[in-house]
Amino acid sequence: TANTNQPNPHSFPPRFTWGVATSSYQIEGAAHEDGRSPSIWDTFCATPGKVLNGDNGDVACDHYHRLDSDLDLIASVGVNAYRFSVAWPRVVPEGRGTPNPAGLDFYSRLVDGLLARGITPWLTLYHWDLPQVLQDAGGWPKRDTALALGDYAAVVTDALGDRVKHWITINEPWVAAFMGYGNGVHAPGHTDLAESFAASHHLLLAHGLALQAIRANVPGAKAGITLNLAAAYPATGSPEDQAAAWRQDGFANRWYLDPVFGRGYPQDMVERLGAASPQAQGLVRGSDLETIGAPTDFLGVNMYSRSVVADAPGEGFLDVRQLRVEGSEYTGFDWEVAPQSLTDLMLRLQRDYNPPALYITENGATYPDTVAEDGTVHDEERTRYFQQHLAALGAAITGGAKMAGYFAWSLMDNFEWAEGYDKRFGIVHVDFETQARTLKASGRWYRDFLARAQEGQPA
Ligand code: GBH
């Protein structure tokens, strides 16, 4: 009998994109080398009490100095794509203006190394490491920051557009806006609702401006944005809880999906926000919504979990409470393991927004891994997580979602933002004392799965 928790490697289309993902600040280290300027994360990490154990990205996985062996590591997994991000403060240290050749050279070597190994580079322009100088000038709540990102995008597309054809503008604008300027858990650690909605609008504008740079400079580019999305379910069938789930969806999902797909901001949310909305703040100018809603080639989705919510009058501006689901499994981050929600989410996106293509640009889990005496890493829970989510991805394809690829988060254990090095997401274990890399059991499983999925296909 078919085990629905086991993905069928032969059920994915030929030429499906199979990858692993990372981001610059989380892996590179070399934070003060070759002309890189500080980012808001360097500053945040240096602020006592912000990051667990006072950890920072000064060294991280030392990827900057281990490029060639890390390229071999990526190749050893058998992926056909690698998603990474470019550090803006490395490439344009002053935030705008003169590019730094040493910074560009690193990414040029990374791209060449991938292509030499038959691996398609997927480049994310912005994964949260804003140059500190731009934060000093006001950061994402200021419109100028979006314009600066557009200029930075022109620099990167100019330098790498001859070889990089897959572009992601912004990683998770929701997190950058609401964890950076709303709940203060991420850099720069502000806590102001109006500011966070201003940041949100300018991150979307930055997406649109980056898209223009990509279209202008990269012939044949495939370009899109990556959103963190989580399907929202009502705790009960009551109309109150159903309305609460719609509000949760409005904030977490539609707030980004609607404008990116050219519909402008969802009116129910604009009304709910009142004075905090970008409209009421006077931030939505002239052609902003056309810029933001320009056609993309794909939607990238980072999917980790779902939310289950109840109506809770008086709780936050959404009047919603997130519930822990009795009997469900949770990962080390206390995120519910909810693979069925991946299928639901993809089918809903296809139905409601009809994207030309859908990619899972991140999916993964953190667990306390056990390293055995012989150095092997046992992470059976992570393996199960990947199996369940890849099976759910298969079901989405069967159901008609235009799935074109999947990236596991992450290639290797790395700097997990406010959690420092305490939470591990890698399919490769990193010993942060020695920088030794060891493929975990989940990594071996993924490698073997990819080998079967790509059997008989030309490299
Ligand atoms: C991703 O974000 C990041 O892109 C990546 O850099 C990071 O390493 C990876 O996940 C693992 O954390 O509990 O209601 O506040 C994850 C996006 C957004 C998912 C916040 C969990 C919690 C919502 N996350 N969300 S809530």
Residues contacting residue 421 through CB under 8 Å, at least 6 positions apart: 53, 55, 413, 414, 415, 432
Q: How many helices (H) and strands (E) does the chain have?
A: 16, 15
Q: Which atom of ligand 1 is nearest to the CA of 416?
A: 8
Q: CB of 168 closer than 6 A to ligand 1? A: no
The pTM for the full model equals 0.98
C-alpha 162 – ligand 1 centre gap (Å)? 32
pLDDT confidence of residue 5: 81
Nearest alpha carbon, ligand 1 atom 20: 175
Q: What residue spans of 308-355 are helical by DSSP H?
A: 339-353
pLDDT confidence of residue 448: 98
Q: Which residue has the tokens 């046992």?
A: 378
C-alpha 302 – ligand 1 centre gap (Å)? 8
pLDDT confidence of residue 2: 46
* CB count in 10 Å sphere of residue 141: 24
**Phi, psi dihedrals of residue 435, rounded to the nearest 5°:** 65, 15
Residue 316 burial by Cβ neighbours in a 10 Å radius (0-12, 13-18, 19+): exposed
pLDDT confidence of residue 458: 74
pLDDT confidence of residue 375: 85
Rounded to whole angstroms, the Cα distance separating 195 from 281 reads 10
Rounded to whole angstroms, the Cα distance separating 31 from 115 reads 26
Q: What are the per-10-residue average pLDDT scores of the chain (459 residues)?
A: 76 96 99 98 98 98 99 98 99 98 98 98 99 99 98 98 99 99 98 98 99 98 99 98 98 99 98 97 98 99 98 97 98 97 98 98 95 92 98 98 98 98 98 98 98 88
- ipTM value of the model? 0.94
Rounded to whole angstroms, the Cα distance separating 58 from 33 reads 10
Q: Is 340 annotated as a binding residue?
A: no
Among residues 23, 412, 20, which one has the least CA distance to residue 186?
A: 23
pLDDT confidence of residue 3: 52
Q: What is the DSSP letter of 33?
A: S
* CB count in 10 Å sphere of residue 71: 19
For 127-214, list the strands marked E by DSSP: 166-171
**Phi, psi dihedrals of residue 321, rounded to the nearest 5°:** -125, 130
